[in-house]
Structure 1
Amino acid sequence: MQMLVAWFFFNAHWARVTSSLSDSVAADVAVATQLFRQDPTLENANKLDALLRPDMELSVVLRSGDVLPISNRKSFFSNLDRTLRKSLTEAVDVPFWFDTTRYPNHIDIRVQVDQGVLRFVAARERVFAPTGFVFIFWLITATVVLSVISILFIRRQSDPIRELADAAAAFGKGQDISGFKPRGASEVRMAGQSFLKMRRRIGRHLEQRTLMLAGVSHDLRTPLTRLKLQLAMQDDNEDTRAARRDVDEMDAMLSGYLDFARGMGEEKPHTVSLTDFVASAVKGRQVTVEPFEELEISIRPVMLRRCLVNLINNARKYASICLLSVQERGGDLLITVDDDGPGIPESQRQAVFKAFQRLDDARNQNIEGVGLGLSIAQDIAQLHGGTIILGDSELGGLRATLRLPL
């Protein structure tokens, strides 16, 4: 917009004013030249100088026997030279030469006459309008001032939005955001307050879910205990043993479901050593750990350890070799568990994350569990803002990758 304003100013207003001034000076030069040619003497040139210099700021000097210069010095604003050349061409009918660059406050104009060269020196203000440079100065100054104000204003408006985005990202990773307070424009404050209300609603929902399932667990364990006592007093036969297995499976399923529902526990995240965390997860388990660089991470260590243990136990159930590797890639921490077991078909890799989802009976013969291991692991990973990805392992089995944002 300012460039368009400047273009309009210079081409419409400033150029017109400058043209009028140039026409005035060119007319004075033409009249002085005609008066000199009527009496081409040095005394007449001096009279013209005495007449024009005081009131019209135009001096006249006769350089006898001199000729016009050949070289021309171009002005930075070529429009100035074009305007003056046009005015002189229309007013003066003899050869002329001028220079607008040699002197900062004056214009040198020379006209060829028979006796030599008439040199005119005019004040620059008489030829060019000085308001153009003042306009450019104020235009640049206003641009700088408005740019600074705009940057400060935008930063004041963007900082609260960035804080809201950081709080949302931290909440997605399960981190504490109690220090977040909405600020900024009314729309940003409204969005921040809505985010806090959503956070409180999610917290109440998780708390109610945990309390409800804890009550259900307590109520169901009492009749299950009675059934166990009744079955223990029955004769040891095939029907009794089948009933006992059903009751044990119901008890394990109830415990597993309660653990799954408590995936959003009250444990607070804090910074731990990655080496110590991995060591505590693989302790006592037949797992080969590849060397990795030391790193400190902010996690819920008890919950995330359970997630990693579930992945390791899932690999150990179906395979003889279990390999764990750790690497950092693109701002994420990747903890990979590879095994040489039968793997999981690609079509079923999303289904295994559903609660109580197990593969076909042929794959699960003599395998303990109720189908909650991967569900709980995925729940905990998502609580940390991450996920679990299943794929093909180079060992020939399943690769489970726990991806966590750093």
Structure 2
Amino acid sequence: MRLLPAYLWPRFLKRRLPTSLWGRSLLIIVLPVLVMQVAVTWIFFDAHWQTVTARLSEGLAGDIAWAVESYEDDPSPQGLQRLADRAERSMSLSIALQEDRVLPTEKRRGPIGVVDRVLDHALESRLDRPYWFDTTRYPSYVDIQVQEPQGVLRIIAPRERAVATQAHIFVLWLTIATVLLMGVAILFIRNQVRAIERLADAAEAFGRGETVPRFKPHGAREVRAAATAFMAMRDRIQRHIDQRTALLASVSHDLRTPLTRLRLELALAPPFKRQAAMRGDLDEMEHMIDEYLAFARGEAGETPQPVSVPDLLGAAADDARRAGAEVELSAPEGLTAILRPLAFKRALVNLAGNAASHGDHVRLSARVLTSGGVEIAIEDDGPGIPDEMHEEAFRPFSRLDDSRNQNRKGVGLGLAIARDVARSHGGDITLERSDLGGLKAVIRIPGPVSLAPAEAAAD
């Protein structure tokens, strides 16, 4: 396995760190606690548990060496009995002689190898005869056997005489304390993150143009300050929007009055040479006023509701046909999405009308995205827009050159209004090169969609 170069490690770790505030906050709490627990446990086992176990094992090995030497001094049955009684009474050792037996050949070692290593080292340093021991057969005892000429001298010792058996209690309490601390930390972190999530949801909803009731700031002082600042900013923006809408509505109303009078005077006046041209100018002025007002208003106050996407595309297709274009329409039957019907219809009509005014063939299509949501494409076979000018086309009042705007009615707000509507739904519009040779406008709207049962089964 090849190791990464040192300069790549920060990038490698950064890609694998949690991206959410909740995940990173949890990591900040959990990682130091785990490191502390591992370090304390390691220090405990290395500096305390192993030391105590080694001393206990050395003491037990010394008692066993004394018992073996005492037996060899008087190997008679009476001497063995006296030795066994004394060892049982003074050292809690059970001693018995298994005559004509030899040591087992198999080695039995426990899961914690340090116990066997320490005991083996202690016995090896104290005994000069072959020995064998087992720390796994009996949970509370250690079985030690020493080879003697008469057989095997078997010694059963309490386990606590060889091992510090209470170490697991320390680890258990350390684990319990760690879990409690982490639980409290996770609870507090979750509360703080939830306050930030509520603020983010409110900001996102406001960005989509939804009416969000005022919410009470929660969380830490800094989070409450950010929420309060957001609400103040939202109120200022809303006042600005309301004032702009009211101003445009007032201007529109004031301009419509003289336009209506001019239109009436033209209708009552006897025919003259420039009458048709003046009527066209009045129509264009009225269209411009409608565009300005629609851009300022944005239909943001409309409530989202389930809407049939094929019906909206059908209305846009009819508008394109009235403009003289040949229209191709394809959409899954029964496709429904949560939309603001009037605003979204206006966006589609703008895009379809724009396509029809620049091309002879228009294609409208819709499909369900695998990640959820719906994608709608409007294509034409017109001259298109250069790739480097796609973003420029979305700027309000932007009228691109020559190829797409010669003798065209409009003020350059069609794409701007359509993108504003798409973004108010949480989506966006992108421009691409169409297979028909012209421009392709793609609207992607996230959110839940549904299909008719037959379509869903077919998919």
TM-score between the two structures when normalised by the length of structure 1 = 0.89
158-167 vs 220-229, greater mean Cα deviation: 220-229
Q: In structure 2, what is the equivalent of residue 316 of structure 1?
A: 356
Aligned partners of 1:72 and 1:114: how far apart in 2? 22
Q: Which amino acid aligns with 2:153?
A: L
Instruction: Encode CA deviations 1:75-121: one digit per residue, 9 max, x unaligned.
Output: 11111111111111222222222111111111111222232222111
Q: In structure 1, what is the equivalent of residue 415 of structure 2?
A: 374
Q: In structure 2, what is the equivalent of residue 197 of structure 1?
A: 232
Residue segments in structure 2 that go unaligned for 5+ positions in a row: 1-35, 322-326, 448-459
Residue segments in structure 1 that go unaligned for 5+ positions in a row: none
Q: Which amino acid aligns with 2:357?
A: K
Alignment of 1:218-233 (within 5 A): 218-221=253-256
Q: Kindly tell me: are residues 162 and 295 of structure 1, through their superposed partners in 2, closer, same or farther at Cα, counting changes over 3 Å?
A: farther
- Counterpart contact for 1:174–1:269, Cα < 8 Å: no
Instruction: Encode CA deviations 1:144-179: one digit per residue, 9 max, x unaligned.
Output: 444444443433333333333333333333334327
- Counterpart contact for 2:288–2:411, Cα < 8 Å: yes
123-132 vs 189-198, greater mean Cα deviation: 189-198
Question: Which of 295, 300, 308 is the equivalent residue of 2:335?
Answer: 295
Q: In structure 2, what is the equivalent of residue 12 of structure 1?
A: 47
Alignment of 1:375-394 (within 5 A): 375-394=416-435
Aligned partners of 2:347 and 2:114: how far apart in 1? 76
- Counterpart contact for 1:26–1:87, Cα < 8 Å: yes
Question: Which of 344, 352, 366 is the equivalent residue of 1:304?
Answer: 344
Instruction: Encode CA deviations 1:310-351: one digit per residue, 9 max, x unaligned.
Output: 111111112222111001223342111111222223343333
Q: In structure 1, what is the equivalent of residue 399 of structure 2?
A: 358
Aligned partners of 2:425 and 2:168: how far apart in 1? 61
Instruction: Encode CA deviations 1:219-257: one digit per residue, 9 max, x unaligned.
Output: 44556667778888799456x877776565444433322
Aligned partners of 1:275 and 1:248: how far apart in 2? 31
Q: Kindly tell me: are residues 139 and 363 of structure 1, through their superposed partners in 2, closer, same or farther at Cα, counting changes over 3 Å?
A: closer
Aligned partners of 1:363 and 1:84: how far apart in 2? 92
- Counterpart contact for 2:132–2:146, Cα < 8 Å: yes
Q: In structure 1, what is the equivalent of residue 324 of structure 2?
A: none
Question: Which of 125, 135, 143 is the equivalent residue of 1:108?
Answer: 143
Identical aligned pairs, as a percentage? 47
Instruction: Measure how far apart 1:380 and its partner are.
Output: 2.0
> 1:154 aligns to what SS in structure 2?
helix
Q: In structure 1, what is the equivalent of residue 242 of structure 2?
A: 207
Aligned partners of 1:154 and 1:109: how far apart in 2? 54
Q: In structure 2, what is the equivalent of residue 342 of structure 1?
A: 383
259-268 vs 77-86, greater mean Cα deviation: 259-268
Alignment of 1:87-236 (within 5 A): 87-178=122-213, 180-221=215-256, 236=272
Aligned partners of 1:30 and 1:108: how far apart in 2? 15
Q: Kindly tell me: are residues 40 and 196 of structure 1, through their superposed partners in 2, closer, same or farther at Cα, counting changes over 3 Å?
A: same
The structure whose Rg is larger is: 1
> 2:143 aligns to what SS in structure 1?
strand
Q: In structure 1, what is the equivalent of residue 297 of structure 2?
A: 262
- Counterpart contact for 1:322–1:340, Cα < 8 Å: yes
> 1:87 aligns to what SS in structure 2?
helix
> 1:349 aligns to what SS in structure 2?
helix
9-18 vs 57-66, greater mean Cα deviation: 57-66
Instruction: Measure how far apart 1:26 and its partner are.
Output: 1.1
Aligned partners of 1:163 and 1:400: how far apart in 2? 34
